């Protein structure tokens, strides 16, 4: 291990003055993430501006046994990017690598640096009359390298798939400092193992994503947003099946919003108004979009009719202007803020086969509410993907350790039910550090052996994001 002074000298020689932070105050913002969790003080923060510089820093760390953790936009929700408290780590931030390298509106592809903020990618695609469809609440700050590394999902998975389906090529700095250049803009490529897929969803444990070739789509010319009121989750699922069929595969989002979430949204954003006259137990926020002439109004009105006939729908509003559509989507954003304002709570992003969601929801809500009557369940999210944020707010006024113990108990109970339904404990946020012990319990021996083998092959010294996904040291 090298001394701190030698590390500072060597890294500033590699990165220049702007490329290295060593002062405690300067490094403060690299210790916190969006939910407000705080990591340890890093050894230093490296801010390379080119792939070559990333490779030089990683190679240096490899030679000197220095653990490091890549950071994007700090919007991850499982603590993966936070510096470790037990072993001081170097933070490697991609924030200076923000170039849009090339946009090809004929090939429908774009190549970008790993540190590009998602919103700037969406803007660049739109400027070329294309669409990059990944959409999520954190798009103003999260980076594409973070999106790739967490295999981000978001609102439009229903139509376009997750990040895994949106990446054609990757450039990755491997844990020994070598550069894997897979920046091919090919829609079809069947030559051997698909290596890029290894790094997608690897949460920085197998390498640092410094570049990506992304798949673009024709830019939607028309879109419609509606808020629909349903009597229960069963009705929501009935409506979902109707919507998939009656919207000619133009459905882009189908989000569950329970009444409790609407109330949290109105609490966080007092300018929001109850969108319908009579309160309903659950709502659906849905969107359909088309890149050419399509009568979306007629499709959605037809869905309203069929929904009413089937008893799946009690009321609804179809936004008649862009402002009204934006206001409806604002509910989705404000309810996240509303939850955050309620303090520490159990956040999950489980998935269940869509057809079992109603039975799962009923059993999980009853069990949790019977056991902990003062806890509040708020289950919302990408129901069209079978993905629910089944979150639980503990009763107010608990001491920190009481609250932590309760959240742990709630999580164990909930994940047990997820397992009974053959679901997944993470549909999109990943494992990081917070979900590791629960994740390890779900792994079969062959799964664990393959994952451990891959990690060992690429990072035998376990220096790259150690302790995320798999435990450190690898046994």
Q: State the residues that interact with ligand FAD by CB under 6 A.
A: 33-34, 69-77, 80-81, 94, 114, 136-138, 142-143, 145-147, 149-150, 152-154, 203-204, 208-209, 336, 428-429, 432, 465, 468
CA 71 to chain centre: 14
Q: How far is the CB of 369 from ligand FAD (least distance, A)?
A: 26
The answer to whether the beta carbons of residues 104 and 110 sit under 8 Å apart is yes
Calculate the CA 140 to chain-centre distance.
Answer: 13
Report the nearest approach of ligand FAD to the CB of residue 414 (Å): 19
User: What is the nearest approach in angstroms of ligand FAD to the Cβ of residue 385?
Assistant: 10
- Select 303 or 335, whichever has its Cβ closest to ligand FAD: 335
User: 237, 291, 267, 270: which is closest to 105 by C-alpha?
Assistant: 291
* Closer of 78 and 242 to ligand FAD (Cβ): 78
Please report how close the Cβ of residue 94 comes to ligand FAD at its closest, in angstroms.
Answer: 5
Q: How far is the CB of 75 from ligand FAD (least distance, A)?
A: 3
The burial of 100, by beta-carbon neighbours within 10 Å (0-12 exposed, 13-18 middle, 19 or more buried), is given as middle
Using the minimum distance from each CB to ligand FAD, give the nearer residue, 203 or 411. 203
> Minimal distance in Å, beta carbon 157 to ligand FAD?
8
CA distances from 312 to 225, 229, 243, 249, 256 (A): 18, 9, 11, 20, 14
Task: Report yes or no: 125 and 220 within 8 Å, Cβ to Cβ.
Answer: no
**Residue 317 β-bridge partners:** 227
Cα torsion 309, 315, 320, 325 to 10°: value is -120
For ligand FAD, the closer CB: 21 or 235: 21
Minimum distance, C-beta of residue 70 to ligand FAD, in the bound complex (Å): 4
CB 159 within 8 A of CB 447: no
CB of 83 closer than 8 Å to CB of 72? no
**Residue 260 belongs to what H/E stretch?**
helix 259-268
Q: Helices 233-246 & 357-371, crossing angle to 10 degrees? A: 160
The residue among 94 and 216 lying less far from ligand FAD, judged by its C-beta, is 94
Q: Give the three-class secondary structure for 340.
A: helix
Closer by beta carbon to ligand FAD, 281 or else 471 = 471
Cβ contact 93:209 at 8 Å: no
Identify which of residues 200 and 300 has a Cβ nearer to ligand FAD in the complex: 200
Whole-number minimum distance, CB 107 to ligand FAD, in Å?
24
Output 60 or 434, the one with its CB closest to ligand FAD: 434
């Amino acid at each position: 291990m090298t001394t701190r002074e030698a590390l500072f000298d060597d890294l500033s020689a590699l990165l220049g003055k702007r490329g290295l932070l060593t002062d405690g105050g300067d490094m403060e913002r690299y210790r916190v993430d969006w939910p407000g969790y705080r990591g340890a003080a890093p050894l230093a923060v490296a801010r390379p501006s080119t792939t070559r510089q990333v490779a030089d820093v990683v190679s240096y760390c490899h030679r000197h046994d220095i653990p490091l953790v890549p950071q994007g936009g700090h919007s991850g929700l499982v603590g993966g990017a936070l510096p470790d408290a037990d072993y001081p780590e170097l933070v490697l931030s991609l924030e200076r690598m923000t170039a849009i390298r090339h946009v090809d509106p004929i090939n429908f592809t774009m190549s970008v640096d790993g540190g590009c903020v998602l919103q700037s990618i969406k803007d660049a695609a739109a400027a070329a009359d294309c669409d990059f469809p990944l959409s999520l609440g954190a798009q103003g700050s999260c980076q594409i390298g973070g999106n790739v590394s967490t295999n981000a999902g978001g609102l439009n998975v229903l139509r376009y798939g997750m990040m895994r389906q949106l990446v054609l090529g990757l450039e990755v700095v491997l844990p020994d400092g070598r550069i894997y250049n897979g920046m091919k803009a090919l829609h079809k490529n069947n030559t051997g193992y698909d290596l890029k897929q290894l790094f997608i969803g690897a949460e920085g444990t197998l390498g640092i994503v410094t570049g990506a070739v992304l798949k673009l789509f024709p830019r939607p010319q028309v879109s419609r947003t509606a808020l629909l009121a349903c009597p229960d989750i069963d009705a929501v699922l009935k409506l979902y099946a109707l919507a998939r069929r009656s919207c000619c595969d133009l459905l882009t989002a189908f989000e569950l919003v329970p009444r409790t979430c609407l109330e949290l949204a109105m609490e966080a954003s007092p300018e929001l108004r109850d969108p319908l006259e009579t309160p309903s137990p659950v709502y659906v926020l849905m969107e359909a979009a088309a890149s050419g002439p399509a009568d979306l109004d007629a499709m959605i009105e037809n869905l309203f009719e069929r929904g009413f006939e089937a008893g799946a729908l009690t009321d609804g509003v179809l936004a008649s202007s862009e402002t009204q559509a934006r206001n409806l989507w604002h509910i989705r954003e404000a309810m996240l803020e509303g939850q955050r304002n309620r303090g520490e709570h159990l956040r999950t992003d489980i998935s269940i086969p869509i057809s079992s969601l109603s039975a799962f929801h009923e059993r999980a809500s009853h069990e949790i509410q019977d056991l902990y009557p003062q806890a509040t369940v708020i289950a919302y999210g990408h129901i069209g993907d079978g993905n629910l944020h089944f979150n639980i707010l503990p009763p107010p006024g608990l001491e920190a350790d009481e609250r932590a113990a309760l959240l742990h108990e709630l999580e164990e109970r909930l994940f047990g039910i997820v397992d009974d339904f053959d679901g997944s404990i993470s549909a999109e946020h990943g494992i990081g550090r917070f979900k590791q012990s629960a994740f390890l319990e779900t792994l079969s021996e062959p799964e664990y052996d393959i994952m451990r083998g891959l990690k060992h092959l690429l990072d035998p010294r376990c220096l790259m994001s150690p302790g995320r996904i798999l435990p450190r040291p690898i046994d």
